[in-house]
Homo-oligomer: A and B are copies of this chain.
Amino acid sequence: MRPVYVAGAAVHPFGKHLGVNAAELGYRAVQELLASTGISPEQVDAGYGGSTYGGSLLAQRVLQRIGVSGPPVYTVENACASGASAVHLGWQAIAGGFADCVIAFGTENLSGFGGGTLPLTTNDVEISQGMVMTAAYAMRAQRYLHDFGATADDLTRVSVKNRGNGALNPRAHFQQAISPEDVEQSRPVADPLRLLHCCPNSDGAAAVLLCSEEFSKQLTTPSIRLRASVVRSGDFHTSYRDMTWPDITARAAKAAYDMAGLKPNDVDLVELHDAFSVAEFLHTEALGIAERGQAYKATARGEFDRDGRVAICPSGGLLSRGHPVGATGVTQICESYWQLTGEAGDLQVPGAEVALTHVTGGGIFGVDNGACSIHILTTT
């Protein structure tokens, strides 16, 4: 298996881009990627585009406009992990020796839906009975508070931390810090979650350049090692489901640490799937960054602040950046690339050498999530 590098990153700022379709957003991100890396379209061996609602041949539509037309191109859909799955398939193509230079991107426009929860499939027995994502995470939150003695204030602390980070991120949907009072005064959505415990439906896109070691030496941009790239599906069972243990995250994380030859305490920063404030606790614990049931205490102690033990969501997370589903996983890798190359500006985590990115999502009956993807990036 050949080493794979991230040699460039570009993010189209997240936010509301009503009337700009997903293909256009993706085009802008990929265009910026080519401009910033100096790569010519002819050097690209393959393209992978992730999107959930972008429509047929999304990847082809985006890449042909940038001049990448002719080589293998794939449109990948794995719900919230669509973009990260696109990166993973690109990683596999390089690691397996099938390509030397790959573009992977994710893009989404959710404004077109006009608001509300994302339209999920109606073929699913749980979803058809009302198990939309907000409901699922509210139940998880209730259980977490009950089992481990956390309070709504602990959930609020995640929103305040991540919105504080995002206030410094020019690519984030929300760029304003918020107070605990702001969260408490925001409208209830699904008890105990209030509006500011939930990420917004956003529009946006992101793209990365992946390449082999040899190819990376031709470039003037810095290269960061993509040390682990993992995709997993949810483990199906109809018996009791532990709502405070995202098993899919734990399994994907174990595979990623094994692939990277690293342990949780090697990680300097994590961009994880904080689609709802409670999700940060669940995934921090499943990633092994905090003991089970302890993440909320560590958060209160400031361990996950940008200058803490492990910076969690230093870019602002989904709570600040927003969550254009197909784009989220790629953006996390972009933000991590800039952290490890020292180009993160106001967001910089001091001395960052190991970054982990995590997305999971898609509700399906009998599994915690449909797809989860984890990447680990290292400076060496």
Contact = CB atoms under 8 A, between A and B. Distances in A.
Contacts of A95: 96, 98
A74 B73 contact: no
Interface stretch (A155-163, A227-235, A280-288, A311-319): A227-235
B63 A52 contact: no
Given A64-B236, A71-B232, A72-B88, 15 more contacts: A52-B56, A56-B79, A56-B120, A56-B121, A57-B78, A60-B367, A61-B121, A63-B233, A69-B236, A75-B77, A76-B76, A92-B92, A92-B96, A92-B98, A96-B97
Given A77-B77, A123-B21, A123-B61, A72 B236 contact: no
Interface of A: 1, 21, 23, 47, 52, 55-58, 60-61, 63-65, 67-79, 85, 88-89, 92-93, 95-98, 120-121, 123-124, 230-236, 251, 362, 364, 366-367, 370-371
A151 to B, nearest CB: 34
Contacts of A231: 72-74
> How many of these chains are in the complex?
2
Nearest to A121: B55
A77 B89 CA distance: 14
B60 A371 contact: yes
A59 to B, nearest CB: 8
A248 to B, nearest CB: 8
A74 B230 CA distance: 12
A71 B95 CA distance: 19
B57 A370 contact: yes
A120 to B, nearest CB: 7
Given A23-B123, A64-B234, A64-B236, A78 B69 contact: no
Nearest to A88: B72
A56 B47 CA distance: 21
Contacts of A71: 232-233
A232 B97 contact: no
Contacts of A98: 92, 95-96
B371 A57 contact: yes
A60 B366 contact: no
A69 B123 contact: no
Contacts of A23: 123
Contact of A362 (B56, B67, B70, B362): B56
A244 to B, nearest CB: 20
A99 to B, nearest CB: 10
B362 A60 contact: yes
10 contacts: A1-B96, A57-B77, A57-B78, A57-B362, A60-B362, A60-B367, A72-B230, A74-B89, A75-B77, A76-B76
